[in-house]
Structure 1
Amino acid sequence: MQSKELLQEAFGRLPGLVRQALDGMEAAQLQDRPGGQGNSIAWLIWHTGRVEDAQVASAAGLEQVWVAEGFVDRFGLPLGERDTGYGHSSQQVDAVTAPRELLQEYYDAVHRQTARVLDGLVDSDLDRVVDRHWDPPVTLGVRLVSILGDCLQHVGQAAYARGLHPGTADARGA
């Protein structure tokens, strides 16, 4: 297996996990915040898409799907155009509302861009420095692993929050 194929396999799991977390959820359930303070499923899935979108686009020299495909306007959130959710206050978490279909559509569009980027990779690309703000500077390979880890954590959190709603747990126990 080549590095590109490994990354494609790993990132390729995310759309289905996002779909599982959202499937059948009602608007109120998407906005519910575990313990009254945790992040809502809507916020977690939106943030997952925003993180992957912003970081992959930056590393690949592309425009973010959020802007390029008009999702910023479709969501209509009271947040800045480049906001990805890092450091959000409780009020900002509450402000992230969207129907599950729009959350899924945005994540799927982000994934399509990520898949195109991954499809064009060769192993030597993974050593290219994409961020010199860190010591040591961050390579594309390290950035992709970081993005993947962050996305998997947030989708897992959304799946956990989903399981807190009676009757919504995945029948397979996943």
Structure 2
Amino acid sequence: MSSFDLLVDAFGRIQEEVHGAVEGLTEDQLTYRVEARANTIAWLVWHLTRIQDDHIADVAGTDQVWVAGGWAERFDLPFGVAATGFGHTDKDVALVRVPADLLLGYHDAVHDATIRYVRTLTDEELPRIVDESWDPPVSLGVRLVSVVNDDMQHAGQAAFVRGIIERA
């Protein structure tokens, strides 16, 4: 199995988890909060998708799907177009209120762009330094694993909230 195969599988698992957490839920369910300061499924999925979009576009040298695909306009959120959710307050979390099909449409578009990029990679490219602002500097391989890790954690959180909703 190649690095390419591993990455395709990992990003595919994220997509499966996102669909499992979101499909069939209403906007009220997607914005349900376990407690007053908790993240919602809608925010978690938007955020994990924004991070994947931002980070993959950066290493691929492409435009973010969020802007290039017109998703920012469709979501019509009261944040700057570069917002990814980092630093969001409890009030910001509550402002991500969108239907399931919009969340999944954006996630699927980012997934497709991610897989297109990953398919171009060779193992020899993975050590390339993509971010020198960290010590040690971040390689392409580390950045991709970081995205997978962050996304899967947030997808798991969204699945957990869905479980609470379904058992209520």
2:150 maps to what in 1? 150
- Secondary structure of 2:29 counterpart: helix
Q: Kindly provide the CA deviation profile for residues 130-151 of structure 1, in whole angstroms up to 9, marking residues without a partner as x.
A: 0010111100000000000000
- Return the offset for 1:24: 1.5
Matched residues, percent identical?
48
- Secondary structure of 1:36 counterpart: coil
Tell me which amino acid in the other structure corresponds to 1:146. Answer: S
**Paired residues for 1:5-84 under 5 Å:** 5-84=5-84
- How many residue pairs were aligned? 168
RMSD between aligned residues: 1.0
Structure 1: which 5+ residue stretches go unaligned? 169-174
Tell me which amino acid in the other structure corresponds to 2:64. Answer: Q
2:105 maps to what in 1? 105
- Return the offset for 1:53: 0.2
Structure 2: which 5+ residue stretches go unaligned? none
Distance across 1 between alignment mates of 2:136 and 2:95: 36
- Secondary structure of 1:166 counterpart: helix
Distance across 1 between alignment mates of 2:147 and 2:90: 24
Provide the TM-score with structure 2 as the length reference.
0.97
Distance across 2 between alignment mates of 1:76 and 1:156: 26
The runs of at least 4 consecutive aligned structure 1 residues that moved more than 2 Å come to none
